Chains A and B, each alone.
Chain A
């Protein structure tokens, strides 16, 4: 066992972790630990843009961004945090540019912006250009730029270390336990503050845009140490994943004028969102696709739709919509322009589908994409110990693993990249401030005991079960019964199945007994994380007898603000029993009203 001491440990090296690491390391002795090499993080897969009301080419205001985000959240987002994020957004983007971030440019050299779902001009209700973009690889550019800055500023990294446990003592964070993947050696990191930035858990579902690494480690680790998980029933299904594969096709495609077409050749979103049509928010479009498929309107009667960005289609519908360029000229595109704005999308379609989006429509279906829920925090990234808002000293969370909550029941596109830069930064700053005023808390006795217990379990099973099969069964039942539309019966079936799978996990025995790169061990442990989060998600969802944002119930089709304008706080005790409590939503300026696009 090796022991290290740092004032601040950041777990995860995606956008939130790197931002936290950059800011924290300015004044505090900081290390960033990640199970992946930092540039492999899933931030790099974000495509369309980062939202900020810069107003590069048309009128826009942070207040409009705030309102759109509140509305997009189906009024479950905390409005103080949303206002903070949308106001910080402008400076945050202007801070990335001097780090060298290669944003696309307007003709006059400013940061270029494109329309995105749910982002509107609050006066006309029409889409507004708010997504600051770098082709269709904005997340890649952010991840690379932040990592470059970390190299420049000599930030300390522990790459390819799998974090297994969070250490608390006297109710305060005191460290984490990790395994060095290359050697199998156990490391204890003693710290004054821990910032969790471990990303999402979309690998619970069969069809997902998420990386293999997205196994919810941070949320699961915290849950096992008594930290609640907030609003886990809210998981976003992005409407446009590549058919069968789930690979993301950015909303930027529709921002550039692409439209969704059903098996009858109709632009069906006209019926579901008459004002913004294909740029409605994601929950609404995913539900529309589901309903169209159910009504037999899928392509060839199957469970997919076309996303059509062929220039003739774009120009046809842009003319009908009366869409104009910023200079007032009619919006007309060419194939070359589409290719230059969406090069990766074109590449993905060619490679995985053999389809050229310039000349053919893309087959798409909704794909599990983003966790609105996670470790509960306030706007400074401080983790809440309970629904009363008590803070756990020294523990912070930021990015997808956290629930501030700025996304509420449904996140708007471009707000995830915004979330990581704003809250990654503020968690880093707040932690750095905190560590200056406190001493190291002693580590608990035998700090690695729980880590060893968890990992050893997979070495001593009777071997009658296979973790790969268990994982696949979980993904299937969660996609079928805990997907876009839910019912009491379906969710109960999912819960029963997940609990059965958790029992079966006890019989798993890994085959790899070595120390060096034992991916068998880590991947099996990650499946246990997914199972825990699948259970918490389902229990939270069963209790919520309403439909709101990403949680849509056929047996309770309406939003119920009287009863459910509140956040779920799910806790898991040592025996694995889940308890639900609730915290009221913070409402400042915008009273809930019917959500129409």
Chain B
């Protein structure tokens, strides 16, 4: 099929402001949007810049707005977007070049929630036991690939990049509800900050945007509930 691919372009070394380039391409309906970008870069314009690595939705490099919606370019097929496809950088983070944004504010927020296992007891000789139910409790939030599709779809984050954002809260949730972890108190204190979970107004954009289908709004709700009740069940 014939596809008209419209791509957001901005080269800080040349352009005063962003513009769009349009490419007419032959594409298979089952091709990935990433395949189209590679084709344009290979044949039409070698200067087109974007991040990519695994090309099957697990590394989190290529989150972008495709027809206005946050997606991974490698997990989005042409047939789901039709003949006119517009590709733009994710919102709320500074654009560096073309589809590449500055991820630093995003990762800084991630690091603020102590996204690592905390348990100061001496480790047992073998493994710490954990029941299947306890393991299942936080399974959903272990799927996060830090692609930023959720955080950059959130109006509260657009309003202030100081807001920790859904991805950071998801990663806090992953530890708060891990029965082996002892850092819930410290993390909940951070999440109780004015730039923490209270900024979430349950718009659900994040849940829709997540390419890993994590129930993000639900996870944020569970963190809010834990803050109110102290209940980590």
> How many residues of chain A get a CB closer than 8 Å to chain B's CBs?
60
Do A517 and B59 touch across chains, with their CB atoms under 8 A apart? no
Query: Provided the pairs A148-B117, A512-B47, A517-B97 are in contact, do residues A211 and B130 lie with their beta carbons within 8 angstroms?
Result: no
Q: 8 Å CB contacts to A: which residues of B136-163?
A: 138-139, 142-146
Q: How far is the CA of A105 from the CA of B53 in the complex (A)?
A: 31
Stretch of B37-45, B186-194, B195-203 lying at the A interface:
B37-45
Taking a contact as CB atoms closer than 8 A, the residue among A42, A44, A45, A110 that contacts B127 in the complex is A110
Shortest Cβ distance from A152 into chain B, in angstroms?
Answer: 4
Q: How far is the CA of A94 from the CA of B11 in the complex (A)?
A: 49
Q: How far is the CA of A211 from the CA of B58 in the complex (A)?
A: 10
Q: How far is the CA of A50 from the CA of B119 in the complex (A)?
A: 23
> How many residues of chain B get a CB closer than 8 Å to chain A's CBs?
62
Shortest Cβ distance from A364 into chain B, in angstroms?
Answer: 14
Query: Provided the pairs A102-B178, A111-B127 are in contact, do residues A36 and B53 lie with their beta carbons within 8 angstroms?
Result: yes
Shortest Cβ distance from A269 into chain B, in angstroms?
Answer: 26
With A41-B59, A44-B145 given, can you name 19 additional A-B contacts, CB distance below 8 Å? A39-B59, A44-B59, A94-B125, A98-B127, A100-B117, A100-B175, A100-B178, A102-B135, A109-B132, A110-B129, A140-B145, A152-B117, A247-B56, A352-B77, A468-B43, A517-B49, A517-B97, A517-B98, A519-B49
Do A42 and B54 touch across chains, with their CB atoms under 8 A apart? yes
- Chain A residues packing against B (C-beta within 8 Å): 36-37, 39-42, 44-45, 54, 94, 97-100, 102-105, 107-111, 134-135, 137, 140-141, 144-145, 148-149, 151-152, 182, 211-213, 245, 247, 344, 347-348, 351-352, 466-469, 510-512, 514-520, 523
Do A102 and B142 touch across chains, with their CB atoms under 8 A apart? yes
Do A107 and B132 touch across chains, with their CB atoms under 8 A apart? yes
Taking a contact as CB atoms closer than 8 A, the residue among A99, A152, A344, A469 that contacts B58 in the complex is A344
Shortest Cβ distance from B13 into chain A, in angstroms?
Answer: 4
Do B126 and A42 touch across chains, with their CB atoms under 8 A apart? no
Majority SS at the chain B contact face: loop
Contacts of B46 in A (CB 8 A): 510-512, 520
User: Does B50 have its Cβ within 8 Å of any Cβ on chain A?
Assistant: yes
User: Does B89 have its Cβ within 8 Å of any Cβ on chain A?
Assistant: no
Shortest Cβ distance from B123 into chain A, in angstroms?
Answer: 4
Query: Provided the pairs A41-B59, A110-B127 are in contact, do residues A511 and B47 lie with their beta carbons within 8 angstroms?
Result: yes
Q: How far is the CA of A518 from the CA of B47 in the complex (A)?
A: 7
- Closest chain B residue to A97, Cβ basis: B127
Taking a contact as CB atoms closer than 8 A, the residue among A137, A141, A212, A352 that contacts B53 in the complex is A212
Do A105 and B131 touch across chains, with their CB atoms under 8 A apart? yes
Shortest Cβ distance from B27 into chain A, in angstroms?
Answer: 15
Do B61 and A468 touch across chains, with their CB atoms under 8 A apart? no
Contacts of B75 in A (CB 8 A): 351
Contacts of A102 in B (CB 8 A): 135, 138-139, 142, 178
Contacts of A39 in B (CB 8 A): 59-60, 145-146
